[in-house]
Structure 1
Amino acid sequence: MELLSSLSLEDLAVSFSKVPVFPLFDVAYYIISILYLKYEPGAVALSRRSPVASWLCAMLYCFGSYILADVLLGDSPIHYFSNNSNILLASGVWYLIFFCPLNLFYKVVSFLPVKLVLVGMKEVVRVRKIAIGIHHAHHHYHHGWVIMVLIGWVKGSGVALMSNLEQLLRGVWKPETNEILHMSFPTKASLYGAILFTLQQAHWLPISKSNLIFFFTLFMASCKIYMTATHSHGSPFAPVENCLCLVLFGSPDAVQDEHDDHHHHHHHDDHEVSHSAGKSKEELNEGTRKRKVKKAE
């Protein structure tokens, strides 16, 4: 902490944590979220065929984390829709991305330099949502660490966790794309961030909330900007996760090999039993034939 103070990073972190996200950063969040919606197969055709369904999908992309968190905490899932300013902003962004003449708005925001700035701004909102979610859960459950982590995780990646519901609105059902089964980088990072903010809230992590917000935002923005610029779908957590999972949970290949060996032995045993049964039956028939020949003689 003394090092941070000597470098004036403490003041910078405090000032950064107080920067309001509405409306500038929120608009960037809506733009990138709905831009990803437009990338989905059939999303453009859906917007022409059923604008209401397309709008609902866009609202889930923008506010799915709030809806899911409210459901988990026992609040009304439509509570956030009382924020008229946010709904109007998100609706305006949806209309411009899908229906702007000559597709001009889409071309501007998807232009890579502009998109990278918007991606970084979106991560600012994501980290704030995680921190607010932890604080909100702590207000309801002071010692519920698991609940705090869960709400922070949902706040940071609720859109991805509700992807199957959003797909249903588009008439698509792909249960194999469940986000929990195949976590993307934002979902994993939101989970790890929720754990860090929960430890900080419980005073187990010797760092102030403003510093944690600053450094975790810097990490998230840097990773997402780099991944977007290089069109990478990998995860910076992969090397560490592979080592830890191998030590703690074993290798999935070993499980598959064990399953294959078990299946092979089971099949081999069944074959031997079947062969023995067939052989016994042949011996029985041979004995019967010999008795009949002897009686005839």
Structure 2
Amino acid sequence: MDLILNLNELSLGMSTISMYPLFDAAHYIVSIMALKEQPGAVEVSRRSPFACWFSSMLYCFGGAILSALMLAEPPVAPLSNDTNVLLASLIWYLVFYCPQDLVYRSAALLPVRLVLSGMKEVTRTWKVLGGVVQAQKHYKDGILVMIAAGWAKGAGGGLISNFEQLVRGIWKPETNELLKMSYPTKVTLMGAVIFSLQQCQYLPIQKHHLMFIYTVFLVVNKSRMMLSGSSSWPFAPVEGAMYRVLFAEAPTDCASAAAAKAKAPVRAPSPDTCAAAKEDVKEALDSHNGSAVSDTDVKVSRSPKTGGAKRQRPNEEL
């Protein structure tokens, strides 16, 4: 009983934690470090600092900008908080332009990066829930809109990655997150679904309990992935089974016949067959030569004076 009360107090206290400045700073550091690790990002920072800064702001505030666009709100509203923008800009400058690259090297150490990544996952919970609540104010019963807004606000940096790449002069449409979702995009979509169901009272659980469970899942799974060096999705077997049941198309008869024909072994011709084929080719050549000789056969004519035979070429006129 005491354990349940303690967990209840812990979840209630965690739901009232302010994200600024520590958790927001961790989110900015991890996001900008991820940008710096992209191919060609360091060259862009040397060639065009403004393009690098703009890309960093998209990494930091992309989710809020995308969710604002979806809800017909000003997309520059997330940038109206000067304090957060200045903090993100300061971190951007230190990560890219600090002498000897000390800030990036220090933050890239595994223990430090593990803590920073865990703090970033905590902010993901608040972002997803914030997007869901923001959409609910505009569309009270629009559960699909709530899911989309929560998904966009929690994983907007990945969803607008193609636009961010254009800022750096790169165009890779095959990296679209909708074509091949990464782990953050999938786990954010899952969170948007469960928070939307909870807000619509389809899940009989209190909000702070759900926030605690989802946050613990994010932090533990992210730590496991970083320590093991694996990027596997924990629900991959369930996802694969659902895909095979719902979306896998059964092969048609024509496709099956073509596949069977392609897999059929090729039989080598027997020696008797080869010999018979050679005889047929020889007879055909002989008959062809005989007809050619008959056409150009030597024509013989008698000369009235000598009475002898006179040979005449086929092409000569008579």
Q: Which bin holds the TM-score, normalised by the shorter protein?
A: 0.7 to 0.9
Give the TM-score of the pair, scaled to structure 1.
0.84
SS of the equivalent of 1:143 reads coil
Q: CA deviation at 1:4?
A: 8.8
Partner of residue 203, structure 2: 205
With a CA cutoff of 8 Å and minimum separation of 6, indicate the structure with the bigger relative contact order: 1
**Contact 1:4–1:10 (8 Å) recurs in 2:** no
Distance of 1:203 and 1:46 partners within structure 2: 48
Distance of 2:14 and 2:120 partners within structure 1: 15
Partner of residue 51, structure 1: 49
Q: CA deviation at 1:260?
A: 8.6
Partner of residue 85, structure 2: 87
Partner of residue 261, structure 1: 255
Of the structure 1 ranges 11-20 and 230-239, higher mean CA displacement relative to structure 2 is found in 230-239
Distance of 1:180 and 1:122 partners within structure 2: 23
Give the TM-score of the pair, scaled to structure 2.
0.78
Partner of residue 66, structure 1: 64
| Superimposed CA distance per residue, residues 16-37 of structure 1 (whole angstroms, 9 cap, x where no aligned partner) | 0001000000000000000100
Higher-helix-fraction structure: 1
| Superimposed CA distance per residue, residues 175-233 of structure 1 (whole angstroms, 9 cap, x where no aligned partner) | 01100111011101111110100110011101111011111010011111211222222
Which residue of 172, 175, 178 maps to 2:176?
A: 178
Which residue of 156, 159, 184 maps to 1:158?
A: 156
Does residue 42 of the first structure (1) align with residue 40 of the second (2)?
yes
Counterpart of 1:238, as a letter, is A
Q: What is the alpha-carbon root mean square deviation over aligned residues?
A: 2.1
Distance of 1:79 and 1:263 partners within structure 2: 59
**Contact 1:55–1:91 (8 Å) recurs in 2:** yes
Distance of 1:93 and 1:247 partners within structure 2: 47
Partner of residue 20, structure 1: 18
Q: CA deviation at 1:261?
A: 2.1
Distance of 1:23 and 1:93 partners within structure 2: 12
Q: CA deviation at 1:89?
A: 0.6
Of the structure 1 ranges 237-246 and 199-208, higher mean CA displacement relative to structure 2 is found in 237-246
Q: CA deviation at 1:262?
A: 7.9
Counterpart of 2:53, as a letter, is W
Partner of residue 119, structure 1: 117
Does residue 11 of the first structure (1) align with residue 13 of the second (2)?
no
Distance of 1:52 and 1:174 partners within structure 2: 21
Distance of 1:198 and 1:63 partners within structure 2: 22
Distance of 2:253 and 2:53 partners within structure 1: 46
Q: CA deviation at 1:258?
A: 5.2
What is the count of residue pairs matched by the alignment? 261
Sort the Cα spacing of 1:152 and 1:4 in 2 relative to 1 into closer, same or farther, 3 A. Answer: farther
Partner of residue 136, structure 2: 138
